[in-house]
Chains A and B, each alone.
Chain A
Amino acid sequence: MIPPARPRKLAKVPFVELADGRLQGVVSSGSDIGRVYVSSVAAGSYAFACSTNNNRPCGGARGSFCNHIGALINEAVLQYGAERVVRYLKAEVPEGDVDGAVLASAMRSTRPPMDGTKAAASVFSRFLRHLAYLEHAPVTTPLPEMQFFPPTRAVA
């Protein structure tokens, strides 16, 4: 079983996940309410990418992590706990407490390359799929399979 996500504020980073070999997610634009950035960092290589949902590259992510990627890393640590994020990204972090800033700077110091795989479209569609979970009607017919999924007080 996987411990549930920790609660966090969603306004800035409505979606973050560890999937497809990347830390990836969606960051709301600070200036335009209709615009979002799709940001990602690859596990192992830390190759990074950031662009709008209309595929315009983020101006801040030319040589290294932009602020959107920084925010994504921070929120991932909040949601999943530092340990799981570090493990997933195969990051080498200094001993002691790890927060988003420490993790970001550890990865940044390896001078990671830009990610040319153009995953933005697939990440964005995963975000839309995620949002679609709000749209499904509840059922009151029995769901005995849920007995396989007890809750836990442990947090990620």
Chain B
Amino acid sequence: MRADLLTGPVEGLDEALAAVDAFDHALVAGLLRAQPAGAAGPTRLADAVTGTPLAARAAEAAAKAAAGAVGEDHFVALAAARTALLGSVHDALLARAEEAAGRSRGAPAVSPAGGEPAANLLTAARAWLCDLARCGWQGLDHEVVSGASEVVSAMLPEPALRRLATLLDGFAAELAASCPGASAERFPVRRWADLWSRGMLLTVPGAAAAPVTGTADGRLLPLGIDVTEHATAAQAQVHAVFEPADGSGPRLVRAGVAVPKPDTVVGAGIWQLLRPHMSLLAAAGEGRSMELTGMPVTAGGDLVWSDEHARPGEPAEAFATARVALPTATAPVTTPLDRHPAGIAVPVFLEGYTARTDDDGVLTFTVAGSDLVVDTDRIPAAGPLTPEAVARSGACIALIRWDAGAFGVQPLAVETTVRKKVTAVHAGAWAGGTADKAGVRAEKAATDAAKVLGERAGRLLRT
């Protein structure tokens, strides 16, 4: 890997982020009233998209914001401008990360327009987000925040609305934990503006659709599992190399499964919820390939998993895949609306690095003379991989991420040498179940918790 490419400056990055920050700052006080002179956040944002198809709408929205007369369409325009700007940031960063990883990109697939699901729920979600933007983070109170709960409850049963529902649910929980805004000392300004903007765009009918553009037939070689979660949702996403049966070049793909959950289902309980719905989790956990037949795949390189299109294949050790197949695999092209720096996750194989842990516990790999921070906090707790094992490792399968202004790596698996014997340890090793002593204990605790909730639900929900 060319790690030096990850530490160099990216042209235009600071300017783009400055415009984003200016807008984000306006959301702290809210856009209900006319903007005081000098606090021209929306205007800076609009100026930054001059010369793009969004220019006229963004400029109009900024003018309305300055006058304190923002309507819902104006909020959508501002969210779109911010998203476009961060999309350009994403593109520049991703190009850099892929160049560092030595990865080439596949051809973009043309994505057909999606359907238009339940417009009234989208309207309700948009109204809530507009309320938030008007009152600002400083004006948050329980009444404003609780406006989300009815919308989320109505959206969750509908799979087509799951993206927006899951986003709003996690966002509202964070907002509630910071209420009242008037007494909060600081806010995660960029983060909340990210969640707000993505939510606004997903209220545009059809925006959340990720249509299937083809099918996959061939061999799937898992690299590792990335877990994401908030209090009431979890997702496990397998990164894998796909070798098409038609002999065309190998491609990087992802396959995920996500589920809403009660906040008391944590750790191994998340694996238990997800496990029955994707046989790939067990395959990835035990180091096995899968044979795919007619598996639906989206333009963005996501397999839309269904077990009927997959059967277990030969054992396939992830580190062998990382060494042999990964370097030749092409990357998918990110779907336009998903272009955001937080979505960057470029699989990479690392070896020959030195690891050091500083006094604050921050782990850094020095790869060919360049320092990369290792995000050990993202290693799921319900698994055998630990920050200590990563620090001792000699080889690593990781995702290149971009966070807090710098590139870093998220370990998915490592090789460590114990008594001259090389052992692989995977973050997602417990995905399909485990015989590990600590794992069995975690599974048992999770089973008990699920049993209690299930019993209570059976007794109280249907009476």
Contacts and interface: CB of A to CB of B under 8 A. Distances in A.
Interface of A: 1-2, 4-11, 14-15, 18-21, 28, 33-34, 36, 53, 79, 127-154
A2 B260 contact: no
Given A136-B259, A142-B256, A146-B229, 19 more contacts: A1-B188, A2-B173, A4-B263, A7-B445, A9-B448, A10-B449, A129-B149, A130-B262, A138-B277, A140-B278, A142-B254, A144-B343, A148-B170, A148-B342, A149-B233, A150-B377, A150-B378, A153-B376, A153-B381
Contacts of A137: 159, 259
B377 A138 contact: no
Contacts of B157: 136
Contact of A4 (B146, B156, B229, B258): B229
Interface in B202-218: 202, 210
A148 B457 contact: no
A53 B456 CA distance: 13
Interface of B: 142, 146, 149, 153, 156-157, 159, 162-164, 166-167, 170, 173-174, 176-177, 188, 191, 194-195, 198, 202, 210, 227-233, 235, 237, 254-264, 266-267, 269, 273-274, 277-278, 298, 300, 302, 304-306, 335, 338, 340, 342-343, 345, 375-381, 387, 445-446, 448-450, 452-454, 456-457, 459-461
20 contacts: A2-B173, A4-B229, A7-B446, A9-B448, A10-B452, A14-B264, A15-B264, A34-B459, A131-B456, A131-B460, A135-B457, A135-B461, A136-B156, A145-B198, A146-B166, A147-B342, A148-B198, A149-B228, A151-B381, A154-B377
Nearest to A144: B338
B153 A129 contact: yes
Given A145-B198, A146-B233, A10 B264 contact: yes
Contacts of B230: 1-2, 149
A19 B162 contact: no
B159 A152 contact: no
Given A131-B453, A143-B258, A149-B228, A138 B210 contact: no
Nearest to B379: A153
Nearest to A155: B381
Contacts of A139: 159, 162, 257-259
B305 A140 contact: yes
A133 B142 contact: no
A106 B210 CA distance: 54
Contacts of A150: 228, 375, 377-378
A138 B272 CA distance: 12
Contact of B163 (A34, A36, A127, A143): A143
Which of B177, B260, B456 counts the most chain A CB atoms within 10 A? B456
Nearest to A34: B459
A10 B261 CA distance: 15
Contacts of B381: 151, 153
Contacts of B227: 151
B228 A146 contact: yes
A43 B445 CA distance: 31
B149 A8 contact: no
A8 B159 contact: no
B274 A131 contact: no
Given A2-B173, A154-B377, A143 B456 contact: no
Given A129-B153, A138-B274, A11 B452 contact: yes
Contacts of B264: 5, 7-8, 10, 14-15, 79
Given A142-B300, A143-B258, A146-B166, A9 B228 contact: no
A39 to B, nearest CB: 15
A132 B278 CA distance: 22
A129 to B, nearest CB: 6
A132 B260 CA distance: 10
Contacts of B445: 7, 9
B198 A149 contact: no
B111 to A, nearest CB: 12
A34 B460 CA distance: 8
A139 B165 CA distance: 13
Given A4-B231, A141-B210, A133 B345 contact: no
